[in-house]
Amino acid sequence: MAKKIKTAISPTRDEDYPKWYQQIIKAADLAENSPVRGCMVIKPWGYAIWENIVKVLDEKFKSIGVKNAYFPLFIPLSFLAKEARHVEGFAKECAVVSHHRLEQNAANELVPAGKLTEPLIIRPTSETIIMDSFKKWITSYRDLPLLINQWSNVVRWEMRTRMFLRTSEFLWQEGHTAHASRDEAVNFTSLILNIYQDLAENYMAIPVIKGSKTLAERFPGADETLTIEAMMQDHKALQSGTSHFLGQNFAKAAEINFQNAKEKEEFVWTTSWGASTRLVGGLIMTHSDDNGLILPPKIASSHVVLLPIIRKEVDRGPVMEFCEALAKELRNKVYHQQKIGVEIDNRDIGGARSWEWIKKGIPLRVEIGPRDIAADSVFLGRRDKDSRDKITLKRETFIEELTSILDEIQENLFNRALSYQKEHSQNIDDKSQFYEFFTPKAKTKPEIHGGFAFAHWCQNPDCESRIKDDLNVTIRCIPFSSEPEDGNCIYCGKDSKKRVLFAKAY
Amino acid sequence: MAKKIKTAISPTRDEDYPKWYQQIIKAADLAENSPVRGCMVIKPWGYAIWENIVKVLDEKFKSIGVKNAYFPLFIPLSFLAKEARHVEGFAKECAVVSHHRLEQNAANELVPAGKLTEPLIIRPTSETIIMDSFKKWITSYRDLPLLINQWSNVVRWEMRTRMFLRTSEFLWQEGHTAHASRDEAVNFTSLILNIYQDLAENYMAIPVIKGSKTLAERFPGADETLTIEAMMQDHKALQSGTSHFLGQNFAKAAEINFQNAKEKEEFVWTTSWGASTRLVGGLIMTHSDDNGLILPPKIASSHVVLLPIIRKEVDRGPVMEFCEALAKELRNKVYHQQKIGVEIDNRDIGGARSWEWIKKGIPLRVEIGPRDIAADSVFLGRRDKDSRDKITLKRETFIEELTSILDEIQENLFNRALSYQKEHSQNIDDKSQFYEFFTPKAKTKPEIHGGFAFAHWCQNPDCESRIKDDLNVTIRCIPFSSEPEDGNCIYCGKDSKKRVLFAKAY
């Protein structure tokens, strides 16, 4: 038996993927379970990733005219009751506020008091309450388009939770827009999907497959749901952002109409779209390895950690001085419109120090000791390379090349993820091969299977639902890149004109 | 009787201050009441002010090493019960979550189901849950200082609400830090107060009085509460940010200790500090006049609105072209590290258009018609001046001078507010004059009274509480600027060494 390489994370991806995921979160200090069931505490290193996601998306939304607003946390029960779709989709598992006071009882215990006449629901989404405002805000074509986004927390009472991927409370943005014409709304839905793709691919280095959902997988009430789907390292798909064209369905339900330029009353055309802290889970599962997290530089808030090597007390002064001066210079550099984040870690904790930063996924580790200073150089380790694979660079060269090194890492991570996706994707035309593809290879690793299958589908929801029943595999999307092609449905063999993307999903 | 000048806002400040405040919010399109009692919808123009407050504070917090994190919305009832102070302070009026599901009953109505074994409280503050994490995160002096901030929504069930000033749900930041020494914690408390002052004075143009709270007005459990107090146009004080030095009180209650460098166990020293959407209310009440809101340029997201004057259809092309080109040039300019925000309003709604922007408080209105284009000039109105007081400027001059004009407006607003504060502040040494000062001048205007009184106080809480009972006037702070001085307590006449700030407050 080959000797096992020692890894910082145990178990490894290969040994136990779900546990590996939990261990990455712990080792990288991203989040932890809270005393409240199903809710997590997002720790600074994890929250910084979300902050950068917010920053990127917020700027891009604003650049196309979207304005932020804020709507109440509470939804009156009657609002949900009005929307049958919502009851079905969200209301079943939600946090219900019943009282507005605490009182001390005879036994001196705190008990709920002040019963509300109408219970309130903590928003699982703000759809209904935002539409209530839209109805008030829109009267004329002059009020359109109305492009609103909200950054907020939402609550869906989840029974089985997984940090970042599925928690009872999570952070997200939900965009809601109203337009005077169908075309404008349809185009806007795509525009938003492109922003999600841009974020995923060009910032988070997560390659995605863009496409539209089948009726069965669509957002309830939507005429069209567009999605980006990413492959995780257990070959499952993660839906990483969705943009819905809602036609006039929601406008009719909420009675949102406007007077057009010809003074005729019409219903508006609406869209909605969202992305959440789930993206952080996607980032972790795309790039982490068996030594911990790997942060793509463009979404990292810290890019470089300086590790002073001080073996004798006499070296402390000059080494720290060199580090401080270098940090100052690096912090003045700009990397894709953001400042370079530099940490100095002078804790005296031995080899654990370097490993902590590897586990946290910082792109660059720079060791600086008396010998480096004498040679005016730095000893550089890159997180996209083997941890032992370090190089010496002249100080000036390092400063000059810093941003291009970061770009190289960014590119490497994307290409690596793309290769991984392609390696575990294939066109499949044979039903038994398709079933084989989605069957776990070993009983001990029930999560691991083939990956993404591009197969023909006759558009019959029955075939779709039978595959789901048999394999727990769904059509993730009808990819935009899917060229028209004659083929036979992978399930029933009937005519098909297009391949769709089948996968297991989070 | 003098002819009444027509104003855009009715009633005026003088006629009915509380209603005037509501009308400003409506006219400037800042917020509106929501279908949920006590909660508001913050509309884009109002939310943009909050976004800029967040941006300024967040950068300043980060610059001193504070990291953001996120803690759950829910607090277990037992956490609150543990903290007697919290029960007293917050838990009495709070939103209680009792169920986690909705079910359809026999009559097909949605009703709460899935009763929780332990009710959850929507955070009125995250103190207890953050301290629970601190206990886990801190073991050694190497973990200190721990500097954490959270941006979030909180809920306090208010019976009488006023938009921005007091709502059941509001947005805020709460910072919590732990330090190895008393001195470090004390200094950090001041550092944060200086950040709040910097935001208020140098960005929001709100002059504030810095000081410490008396025991009666202190945050429950704090050893010291520092505050910034601003004067509103009804002469009342608005507490606009507080920073608390908590000593080891919370650390002892939550058992947060650490091993110091000499391997001895010690309790940490903690601070907490917060600012909220209430600041938006303070901004409104400091700068607005009887024509609407006035935005200080450094906190405005839009600085200039271009108003194309198109009387004949033939002019539309050239006028719009001129406006677009000008907007592009202006948007490339930088004003105190932010981009210049430029709006173009080409709606054909007559004189209402200009008034809408006056009411919204945009710093500069620029009218551009064919005659202006012919003269290569613009017709400029400033929000800090009379609405009819407009000047013609050469296009190039306007572009060159834009940022200095904005700086001038910023300075004018601050100076105007400072004069107002000084005008309605006075040293008072006579008890009957003090009582007179705080007595409303007319029965029809119960809100209007003298303003800020700097008077001597003997440090006896009884005198403080009697003044509160008699006049509803409290000691807002013991100002840092208050020089030692011999005097006599304004209530009892006993010896006093310092003047304190007395005022009515929001």
Tens of pLDDT, residue by residue over A328-353, are: 999 999 999 899 999 999 998 888 99
A247 and A310, same domain (yes or no) = no
Q: Write down the pLDDT at residue A83.
A: 65
Please calculate the CA angle A431-A433-A435 and round it to the nearest 5 degrees.
Answer: 70
Q: Is the residue at A81 inside a domain?
A: no
E strands within A214-300? 224-231, 237-245, 257-259, 265-267, 269-276
Q: Is the residue at A116 inside a domain?
A: no
Q: Is the residue at B495 inside a domain?
A: yes
Whether residue A94 and residue B87 make contact (CB cut-off 8 A), yes or no, is no
What is the H or E stretch that residue A53 is in? helix A44-63
* Alpha-helical segments (H) within B177-315: 182-198, 249-254, 278-287
Kindly report, residue by residue over B300-343, the tens digit of the pLDDT: 999 999 999 999 999 999 999 999 999 999 999 999 989 999 99
B324 at interface of A, judged by CB pairs closer than 8 A: no
Quote the minimal CA–CA distance from B220 to chain A in Å: 19
Q: Write down the pLDDT at residue B84.
A: 61
A223 and A337, same domain (yes or no) = no
Q: Which residue has the tokens 């169908």?
A: A182
Which of B253, B287, B321 is a domain's end point?
A: B287
pLDDT, average across residues B32-51: 96
Among B34, B69, B133, whose Cβ lies nearest the Cβ of A47?
B69
Whichever domain contains B449, its CATH number is 3.30.110.30
Strands B364-368 and B377-382, bridge-based pairing: antiparallel
CA distance B27 to B41: 15
Q: Is the residue at B323 inside a domain?
A: yes
Q: Write down the pLDDT at residue B349.
A: 86
A413 and A475, same domain (yes or no) = no
Whether residue A96 and residue B101 make contact (CB cut-off 8 A), yes or no, is yes
CA distances from B324 to B307, B320, B342, B350, B462 (A): 11, 6, 10, 20, 65
Among B70, B72, B171, whose Cβ lies nearest the Cβ of A36?
B72
Kindly report, residue by residue over A362-404, the tens digit of the pLDDT: 999 999 999 999 999 999 999 999 988 999 999 999 999 999 9
Kindly report, residue by residue over B145-171, the tens digit of the pLDDT: 999 999 999 999 988 899 999 999 999
Kindly report, residue by residue over A38-95, the tens digit of the pLDDT: 999 999 999 999 999 999 999 999 999 999 999 999 999 888 877 666 566 666 789 9
Q: Is the pLDDT of residue B1 over 50?
A: no
Residues of B in contact with A98 (CB under 8 A): 96-99, 112
Whichever domain contains A175, its CATH number is 3.30.930.10
B412 and B352, same domain (yes or no) = yes
- The ipTM of this complex is 0.96
Kindly report, residue by residue over B377-405, the tens digit of the pLDDT: 999 999 999 988 999 999 999 999 999 99
A133 and A241, same domain (yes or no) = yes
- Residues 53-92 of chain B whose Cβ lies under 8 A from any Cβ of chain A: 67-77, 79-81, 87, 91-92
- Residues 128-167 of chain B whose Cβ lies under 8 A from any Cβ of chain A: 129, 132-133, 136, 142, 148, 152-153, 155, 157
- Residues 266-305 of chain B whose Cβ lies under 8 A from any Cβ of chain A: none
B42 at interface of A, judged by CB pairs closer than 8 A: yes
Write out B92-108 in H/E/C secondary structure. Answer: CCCCEEEEEEEEECCCC
Residues of A in contact with B47 (CB under 8 A): 67-70
B312 lies in which domain range? 297-418
Which of these, A147, A120, A152, A121, lies nearest to A134 by C-alpha position? A147
Classified as helix, coil or strand, B341 is coil
Whichever domain contains B337, its CATH number is 3.40.50.800
B414 and B429, same domain (yes or no) = no
Whether residue B100 and residue A96 make contact (CB cut-off 8 A), yes or no, is yes
CA distances from B276 to A119, A192, B29, B293, B417 (A): 27, 31, 20, 19, 21
Q: Is the residue at A98 inside a domain?
A: no
Contact by Cβ (8 Å): B244, B222: yes
A182 and A269, same domain (yes or no) = yes
A258 at interface of B, judged by CB pairs closer than 8 A: no
B434 and B410, same domain (yes or no) = no
- Residues 391-420 of chain B whose Cβ lies under 8 A from any Cβ of chain A: none
Q: Which residue has the tokens 């508001």?
A: B40
CA distance A400 to A391: 16
The token pair at B54 is 């967040």
Contacts of B97 (CB under 8 A, 6+ apart): A95, A96, A97, A98, A122, B74, B116, B119, B120, B121, B122
CA distance B145 to B141: 8
Contact by Cβ (8 Å): A315, A308: no
Strands A425-427 and A452-456, bridge-based pairing: parallel
Contact by Cβ (8 Å): B474, B466: no
CA distance A205 to A421: 12
Residues B246, B247, B253, B254: is their CA dihedral positive or negative? positive
A396 and A249, same domain (yes or no) = no
DSSP state letter for A500: E
pLDDT less than 70: residues of chain A: 1-4, 83-91, 443-447
Q: Pick the residue from chain A with its C-alpha nearest to B75.
A: A36
CB pairs under 8 A between A and B: 184
Q: Is the pLDDT of residue B229 over 80?
A: yes
Strands A269-276 and A31-33, bridge-based pairing: unpaired
A351 and A447, same domain (yes or no) = no
Among B44, B77, B142, whose Cβ lies nearest the Cβ of A68?
B44
Kindly report, residue by residue over B434-456, the tens digit of the pLDDT: 999 998 877 656 567 899 999 99
Q: Is the residue at B114 inside a domain?
A: no
Scored b (16 or more CB within 10 A) or e, A54-77 reads: bebbbebbeeeebbbbbbbbbbbb
B307 and B263, same domain (yes or no) = no
Kindly report, residue by residue over A473-483, the tens digit of the pLDDT: 999 999 999 99
Q: Pick the residue from chain A with its C-alpha nearest to B349.
A: A142
CA distance B36 to B30: 18
Q: Write down the pLDDT at residue B88.
A: 64
Whether residue B81 and residue A119 make contact (CB cut-off 8 A), yes or no, is no
Please calculate the CA angle A286-A290-A292 and round it to the nearest 5 degrees.
Answer: 70
Which of these, B7, B6, B28, B8, lies nearest to B285 by C-alpha position? B28
With residues binned 3-state (H G I as helix, E B as strand, rest as coil), the percentages for chain B, rounded to 5, are 35, 30, 35
Q: Is the residue at B16 inside a domain?
A: no
Four-point Cα dihedral A69, A67, B414, B305, nearest 10:
-140
Which of A287, A313, A345 is a domain's end point?
A: A287
Q: Pick the residue from chain A with its C-alpha nearest to B277.
A: A70
Domain count, chain A: 3
Q: Pick the residue from chain A with its C-alpha nearest to B46.
A: A69
Which of B287, B313, B336 is a domain's end point?
A: B287
Q: Write down the pLDDT at residue B87.
A: 61
Q: Is the residue at B80 inside a domain?
A: no
Residues of B in contact with A122 (CB under 8 A): 73, 97, 122
The token pair at B151 is 């941006």
A241 and A387, same domain (yes or no) = no
Contact by Cβ (8 Å): A301, A341: yes
Residues of B in contact with A67 (CB under 8 A): 44, 47-48
